Every structure is written in C-alpha cells, then in structure tokens.
Structure 1
Amino acid sequence: MADVADDARDWPTGRLLSTAARLVEHAWDDALAAHELTHSRVVALHLLLDGPTTQRDLARRAGVEEQTMGRVLRGMEERGQVARARDSADRRRTLVSVTDAGREALRTATGLSDEDPVLRVVEGTGSDPRAFRAALLALVQHFAARRWPDAPDGLDAPPDAGSPS
C-alpha cells in the first residue's frame, strides 16, 4: 500500500478525490455492517424521515431503480426498520414508513458519522475540519447544480438512476 500512497503524490486532483471517496465509502460500509446497516438503508431511512411515501418515490429520490429499492426495503422490513401499509386515500398504493427501530438504526448511523474518521485525519494534518466540510459541501453544491440545473436545490437531485446508493 505504501507504493500507492507514494504514487498518489503525482495523481491529478480528480483522481485523488475519487479514490479518497471510494476508500471512505468502504470504511463507512464496514462501520455500518458492524451494526447490520448498509449505505442504501441509511439513505432510505433518511428519506423516510420526511414521512410515508411509496417505493417508487423512494427509488426516484435515492436515484436507484424501483426493483433495487424493493430489495433494500425487504431487508429493512425483515429487521423491523420500515413498515408497509395501504394508502387510505388510494387503496391501490402501498406506503412505506419508518418505524421506531428504523429511527434507532438511523441514530446509530448518525452516531457513527459523528465519530467521523475522515475529520480526524483532516485534524491530523493541521487543517480545520469545518473548513474541509465547507469545501466538500461547496464542491457537491457546485457540481450537483451543473448536473441537475432544473432541481430547486442541487442537493435534492438524485444521482444517476441505477447507480448504487
């Protein structure tokens, strides 16, 4: 691994950023797995905080296929993190809602992110973690607005359909 770190000094910024993002995502996945969570479940739980909605809407907002969201929801339902019920206004529709167990799972995930190892690494470089987060947010907002110019807020736009969330 030392060779990769040494070689990385000559990499373009975009390659450094995308490699860092993948490595951080792997670390995040490992931390979540220790609590029987996945990145996809955390995304769905977060979206469900807005209130009950359909599987189709969740999939659209998460930027995944409806079938993919169905698999995610099945796993969450087995763990008691979500519940499905017929929509009283339209009995043909099924609404998905977060349960107390789902809220607790999301609190666990939030607690894991509060212990963010990325920010500890940033602190170790002598940089300000708040400034680092602000710079990341600026990058996300800038490139999301370019990617989804019609979205009211670039952060609300879903990633490409079919990509894992």
Structure 2
Amino acid sequence: MDDWPTGRLLSVAARLVEQRWRESLERIGLSHAGLIVLHLVERDPLPLGELARRARVTAQTMGRTVEHLERSGYVRLVADPSDRRRKLVERTEEGGRVFDGIGAIEATVFPTVEQAAVLRMSLLQIIRHVGGDPEAPGPDGADDGPARAERG
C-alpha cells in the first residue's frame, strides 16, 4: 500500500470507514442520512426542502429519511410559526441523545490519526474542490459537519 496512488488510498479508506460507520449506526437504528438530518436540525427546525438542499439530496429521498427518523422517535414534524401550512423537522430529546452519543461511536470507528485537524481540513478541501465549488461552506453553511474537529 505504501506505493499506492493517493486517490486509491482515499477511495479504499472511504469504503472501509463507510462500511464501519454503517454497521455502527445500524446498531442504534440510524442511517448515515439520518445522522446528517439530526446534525442539520441540531440548532433549529428546518423545512424538508431546506434539509434536502443542505444535504444535497432530493426532497423525495429526504422525505423517506425523515419518515424513518420520525418512526424511530428521533424527529417530529411541527407547524412553521410563520406559515402554519408548512411543516418543519425538529429534533426530539431522544434524537438529541442519539446524536450526542455519536462521538463515542466515532472513537470506535476512526483510528487515532496524527494531526487529525489537518486531515479534516484536507478532506474538506477535496470535497469542495471535487464538488465544483472550492469556496463553498459545508452543507449547513459551517465547516464543522456532523463530525466535529475535536472528535478527530
């Protein structure tokens, strides 16, 4: 592996981490998409369309994810105070507890990486560049994504 091109290393690492993440999240009844939703509604409830836009998925895909989270008791739909016809997705207390426990899961999924913050910044740069907009912030307008920098 020492002589593998960087792209191959990144691809293999991504597949292995994704598989381990999926297995770990499934044990608590959560998908990766569900984790993204719990992160996006961490501070404030959001409309389904805005969630889809920020997660970079279709409204239909987001709708299925939210339905699953709602059945699991992790989110609920509430009326938008500014437009009672529109529904907002809001995280429940149980959803908050599950999301807060993600750090412990991350600690078992990711190896200890020297200079984790540097790796994180490099990954953000790659995602932004390959995604077509190297100057764009993350999906929620911030650089801290579901995995906070201090979690490594």
Would you say the 8 A contact 1:51–1:97 is kept in 2?
Answer: yes
Q: 1:115 Cα shift?
A: 3.2
Q: Distance in 1 between matches of 2:43 and 2:103?
A: 17
Does residue 1:70 correspond to 2:63, yes or no? yes
Q: Does 1:136 align with 2:119?
A: yes
Inter-partner Cα distance in structure 2 for 1:41 and 1:51: 16
- CA separation in 2, counterparts of 1:137 and 1:26? 19
> CA offset at residue 55 of structure 1?
0.6
In the other structure, the counterpart of 2:32 is 39
Distance in structure 2 (CA, Å) of the matches to 1:148 and 1:51: 26
* Counterpart Cα distance in 1 of 2:52 and 2:103: 22
Gaps of 5+ in 2: 142-152
Unaligned runs of at least 5 residues, structure 1: 1-7, 120-128, 159-165
Aligned to 1:163: none
1:93 and 2:76 correspond: no
> Are 1:17 and 2:10 matched, yes or no?
yes
Identity %: 36
The structure whose Rg is larger is: 1
- Distance, in Å, in 2 between the alignment partners of 1:89 and 1:144 is 35
For each residue in 1:32-62, what CA deviation from the matched residue of structure 2 results, as whole angstroms up to 9, or x when unmatched? 1111111111110011012011011011111
Contact 1:58 1:69 in 2 (8 A): yes
For 1:63 and 1:86, the matched residues in 2 are separated by 24
Give the partner amino acid of 1:76: L
Q: TM-score, normalised by structure 1?
A: 0.75
* Equivalent residue pairs, number: 139
Q: Identify the structure with the greater strand proportion.
A: 2
Over the residues paired in the alignment, what is the CA RMSD in angstroms?
A: 2.0
- With normalisation by structure 2, the TM-score equals 0.81
1:43-122 aligned at under 5 Å gives the runs: 43-119=36-112
Change (3 A) 1:150 1:44: same
> What are the equivalent positions in structure 2 for 1:145-164 lying under 5 Å apart?
145-146=128-129, 147-149=132-134, 151=136, 153=137, 155-156=138-139
More helix by share: 1
